Structure 1
Amino acid sequence: MISKHVEDLIVKYINNSANSDELSELNYWIEDPNNYEVFKEIVRTHYTINYSLENRNTNDTKRRLLAQIKKDKTIFKLKRIRLYSKYAAAALIILCTGYFYQQGFFSDLPLKTIGRKDAPININSEIKSGSDKAILTLEDGTQMALRKGHSMQTKNAISNGEKISYNRKSNNTTAELYNYLTIPRGGQFHLKLSDETEVWLNSETQIKYPVCFKDGETRKVELIYGEAYFAVSPSSKHNGSKFRVINKAQEVEVLGTEFNIKAYRDEEFVYTTLVEGKVIVNIDTKKQALVPEQQLKLNLDLNITTIKKVDIRNEISWKDGVFSFDGKSLKDIMKVLSRWYDIDVVIENKDIENEEFVGVLNKDQNINEILSNIKSFGIIKDYKIIDKTIILK
């Protein structure tokens, strides 16, 4: 039997009304395994009451919720195991926001934001989270705007405003026709190539690809810049034709797999992360094979590569509606947010640039909420929004 006080803390946690002291108290209480079981039961009951009328598949929702709560306990442990600086509590609480959205567990539930609500906020209605939008450049140079809620069709493709799909048909002509898809800052889009390869494109990204691949030849696309997640249609479905992604100083050879490439113009590194299957990364005359959960990091200036094992969820969560950070600096996090919210960020206090964080942010979260939480826990003294520039002090 738990006290009314603890029960109130849990309900506040769920309802986005707990302050920092209450969250710290709850963090400490939940570390007891027995208390954790109680916590699960209360959360399960609370969500059943609030959402049973809204969700047709309540049992499935409950199952996924409980599974995620179990994972959430690990995040609470991170405070003790990994974070010891004065920013630990802030890092945990701010970036836990939207954690239950990890891998789509809460796709049918509204986000429950964690953090203080009494911190001052600079309201700027011009800064909004990103959305589905892109510029399609056709083979004749014609440009077409694609955006959510607007359908479009060409002789080779069709779009519902969130995804563009190309026709499946053989192409035996001597000349290949190419399209470009450009994702601006504050945008994202989903592309289905003519061979049924799926590509998710992050903000500030451009890709070049054939309208239709030629029979019997290697399927090639070029990630000109930005970040893309590929789910490649296997060679076995295309008479053994390999799939290759060209980017800057490297070429990724694929047999049928899923992987992520991050290659932004303003960064000195290119990251190739393998989710499943097999890829071979060709750099000059050197070939390096990756196995699942490995990431190859290419230093463009020095032409040096390193391979390490990574947490796949942190690398690809962006395509599922969240940004997942594990040991990322404030500077790196703000760079990610600047692309998604289409803003510029200036960090005046250079001493805080390298403070590291762990957790997850929902991509639909209000930027003011993120900034006010960072301020309320002492990481920054203040912040200011001027037009679409954020200044952290």
Structure 2
Amino acid sequence: MCIYYYQGYEYMIRNVYDQYTTADFLHDEEFVAWVKYPTAERNAYWEKVLATYPQKESQVQKAREMILLLNSVPQPPAAESHARVWENIAAGMTATRVRRISPWRIAAVAASVLVLVSAGLFLYRQSQQKPVLAVTTHDVAPGKNAAVLTLANGQQLLLDDSAEGLLAKEGGTNIRKTANGQLIYEGEGNKGETVHINRIDIPRGGQYQLTLPDGTKVWLNAATSLQYPSSFTGKDRTVQLNGEAYFEVAQNAGMPFRVTSAGQTVEVLGTRFNVNCYEEEDAASTTLIDGRVRLTNDSRVSHILSPGEQCTVLPSGKMNIRSADLEEVMAWKEGYFIWNEEPLESIMRKLARWYNIEPVYEKPLPATVLSGIVSRSKNLSEVLEVMEMTGTVHFRIEDRKVIISR
């Protein structure tokens, strides 16, 4: 405990704040009370907290912004007032001042709140409230842990149905499924032994976590496949990716780790990074969280990324480097969708992969961009209802098809 004095009184600062995330501050009743109802005493306490833990300033600021943002948003309009809201929008009036949502982790809040910005109207809906707009009588559950493992001999194992424990052996490597549903390779193999190539396929509506034989951890998003040897015994550690995955690479300076995908190769020694290379997307992108990576396109042009940078490789081979919004990039791994002025078509492709649905456009729509934060644990109807409340788009679910219209 840290002790300080205010107006002659002794106060103690809890020593837990050094471990706090943004979500922890959002859960902290004292913190929320300070943000919503500041007093001289509360100000003094939290100023002392920041002085004691200056490294938490970023998390404190993000949590403050989220609380103030939600506290300032009006309740969703009653059904009888919807027509007036849409009339205001049509007339070019701003119903509520629009603020671009900065992407931050809101694990505690976003689990029960959907936030969306579009068409000059800021809307939100508590998950326990009755839906304001009915989208469909059907519904689609969110994705879950699901994967198919293909061994070197062609045998396929449905991992979501497999019991925990030893699943198979490839050479000197044991392949196990843990109690929490992860796939782990144990044993580094022997030099000169036959290379056994495995492949893990994540279906639409699925995700999975894998630990490779060198200790590298991989999180795989929906509609993703990863091919890799059951043991790394050569001069490097090469895997082949199609889709999206986040890597935490085990350090081994004598054996570089390489991820090959359409149009690019990512080479690392030990780092954390995300690769998005879905075939249906316009470009492949690699985002470096920390460490150092070298990207090489098919024309052998290379770039070295620094932490916080993203490299996009176009079909032509052109490579663009820019600063990345790391929380937006990593949202899928943390259980959220975060959209910042993102085109509707791009959002629907993400929803299609996670909910295993097929978007169908009744006719071409005007260019529509949306910004918002949505939990991936929500049923599809809850996400579409809020998107529909913007007044720019309408949805209808028919089995696994989502019909999109104005």
Partner of 1:5: none
Q: Secondary structure at the match of 1:70?
A: helix
Q: Secondary structure at the match of 2:147?
A: strand
Partner of 1:72: 66
Is the aligned partner of 1:363 residue 2:369? no
Partner of 2:3: none
Unaligned stretches of 5+ residues in structure 2? 1-31, 39-56, 74-88, 115-123
Alignment check: 8 A CA contact 2:135 2:381 kept: yes
* AA matched with 1:220: T
Measured in 1, the distance between the counterparts of 2:93 and 2:343 equals 12
Partner of 2:112: 111
* AA matched with 2:112: L
* AA matched with 1:132: N
Alignment check: 8 A CA contact 1:165 1:193 kept: yes
Q: TM-score, normalised by structure 1?
A: 0.72
Partner of 1:212: 231
Measured in 1, the distance between the counterparts of 2:136 and 2:97 equals 21
Partner of 1:198: 217
Partner of 2:168: 154
Using the TM superposition, give the Cα deviation of residue 40 of structure 1 relative to its aligned residue in structure 2, in angstroms: 6.3
More helix by share: 1
Moved more, 147-156 or 266-275: 147-156
Measured in 1, the distance between the counterparts of 2:256 and 2:273 equals 15
* Cα shift readout 1:206-230 (whole Å, capped 9, x = no counterpart): 0001101106x2111111x100111
Alignment check: 8 A CA contact 2:296 2:303 kept: yes
How many pairs were matched up?
321
Is the aligned partner of 1:291 residue 2:306? yes
Partner of 1:25: none
Using the TM superposition, give the Cα deviation of residue 386 of structure 1 relative to its aligned residue in structure 2, in angstroms: 1.2
Mapping for residues 115-134 of structure 1, pairs under 5 Å: 115=125, 117-125=131-139, 127-134=140-147
Q: Once superposed, what is the RMSD of the aligned Cα atoms?
A: 3.6
Is the aligned partner of 1:142 residue 2:155? yes
Partner of 1:270: 284
Moved more, 365-374 or 307-316: 365-374
Partner of 1:232: 249
Moved more, 65-74 or 196-205: 65-74
Rate the CA distance shift 1:318–1:244 in 2: closer, same or farther, 3 A.
Answer: same
Partner of 1:13: none
Q: Secondary structure at the match of 1:350?
A: coil
Larger-gyration structure (1/2): 2
Measured in 2, the distance between the counterparts of 1:87 and 1:232 equals 51
Alignment check: 8 A CA contact 1:201 1:227 kept: yes
Rate the CA distance shift 1:75–1:159 in 2: closer, same or farther, 3 A.
Answer: farther
Measured in 2, the distance between the counterparts of 1:87 and 1:123 equals 33
Partner of 1:248: 262
Measured in 1, the distance between the counterparts of 2:61 and 2:290 equals 23
* AA matched with 2:381: N
* Cα shift readout 1:218-245 (whole Å, capped 9, x = no counterpart): 111111x100111100124xxx211111
Alignment check: 8 A CA contact 2:239 2:260 kept: yes
Alignment check: 8 A CA contact 2:36 2:68 kept: no
* AA matched with 2:247: F
Moved more, 369-378 or 286-295: 369-378
Rate the CA distance shift 1:292–1:142 in 2: closer, same or farther, 3 A.
Answer: same
* Cα shift readout 1:99-158 (whole Å, capped 9, x = no counterpart): 8xx547429x95344427221131224x21100000000111100001178425222211
Measured in 1, the distance between the counterparts of 2:95 and 2:344 equals 15
Q: Secondary structure at the match of 1:303?
A: coil
* AA matched with 1:111: S
Rate the CA distance shift 1:92–1:76 in 2: closer, same or farther, 3 A.
Answer: farther
Using the TM superposition, give the Cα deviation of residue 359 of structure 1 relative to its aligned residue in structure 2, in angstroms: 2.4
Using the TM superposition, give the Cα deviation of residue 312 of structure 1 relative to its aligned residue in structure 2, in angstroms: 0.7
Using the TM superposition, give the Cα deviation of residue 360 of structure 1 relative to its aligned residue in structure 2, in angstroms: 1.4
Q: TM-score, normalised by structure 2?
A: 0.70
Q: Secondary structure at the match of 1:265?
A: coil
* AA matched with 1:232: V
Using the TM superposition, give the Cα deviation of residue 320 of structure 1 relative to its aligned residue in structure 2, in angstroms: 1.1
Rate the CA distance shift 1:77–1:142 in 2: closer, same or farther, 3 A.
Answer: same
* AA matched with 1:271: S
* AA matched with 2:404: L
Measured in 1, the distance between the counterparts of 2:281 and 2:342 equals 15
Rate the CA distance shift 1:91–1:319 in 2: closer, same or farther, 3 A.
Answer: farther
Partner of 2:188: 169
Measured in 1, the distance between the counterparts of 2:94 and 2:150 equals 46
Alignment check: 8 A CA contact 2:135 2:395 kept: no
* Cα shift readout 1:303-340 (whole Å, capped 9, x = no counterpart): 21111111111111101111111121111111100100
Rate the CA distance shift 1:267–1:65 in 2: closer, same or farther, 3 A.
Answer: closer
Q: Secondary structure at the match of 2:365?
A: helix
Alignment check: 8 A CA contact 2:152 2:196 kept: yes
Alignment check: 8 A CA contact 2:149 2:156 kept: yes
Alignment check: 8 A CA contact 1:131 1:148 kept: no
